[in-house]
């Protein structure tokens, strides 16, 4: 499991920069989907200046909120708000987990 740890960051801006740099470092060419909870997906949308569109959740299935870096960005409505993991899914269906160690630097 990979991780992004914010314990060495001194500001919100520094945390944002580290988050986007590490996320891009971990995303491979084979990655097709980025999946996480609403908390982390909204952070990603904000960092990449994506338009945030309201969604009506009608099921427990993953739903797409757009693309970043040519990868589909999805919210898992069943993933707990406090579960700070991002799943990178490749074209073969394999997934890699990124654990976010926040220390209240970037997440609410």
What is the model's pLDDT at position 108? 57
Q: Region 24-47: what's the mean pLDDT? A: 93
What is the model's pLDDT at position 53? 65
Q: Region 34-51: what's the mean pLDDT? A: 89
Q: Region 84-103: what's the mean pLDDT? A: 93
What is the model's pLDDT at position 55? 66
Question: HEC profile for the chain?
Answer: CEEEECCCCCCHHHHHHHHHHHHHHHCCCCEEEEEECHHHHHHHHHHCCCCCCCCCCCCCCCEEEEEECCEEEEECCCCCCCCCEEEEEECCCCEEEEEEECCCCCCC
- The overall average pLDDT reported for the chain is 89
**Banded model confidence at residue 22, pLDDT cuts 50, 70, 90:** very high
């Amino acid at each position: 499991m990979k991780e992004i740890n914010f314990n060495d960051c001194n500001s919100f801006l520094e945390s944002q920069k580290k988050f986007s740099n590490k996320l891009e470092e971990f995303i491979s060419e084979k990655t097709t989907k980025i999946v996480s909870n609403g908390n982390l997906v909204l952070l990603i949308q904000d960092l990449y200046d994506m338009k945030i569109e309201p969604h009506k959740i009608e099921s427990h299935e993953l739903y797409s909120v757009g693309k970043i870096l040519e990868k589909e960005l999805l919210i898992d409505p069943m993933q707990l708000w406090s579960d700070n993991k991002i799943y990178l899914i490749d074209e073969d269906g394999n997934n890699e987990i990124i654990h976010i160690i926040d220390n209240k630097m970037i997440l609410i």
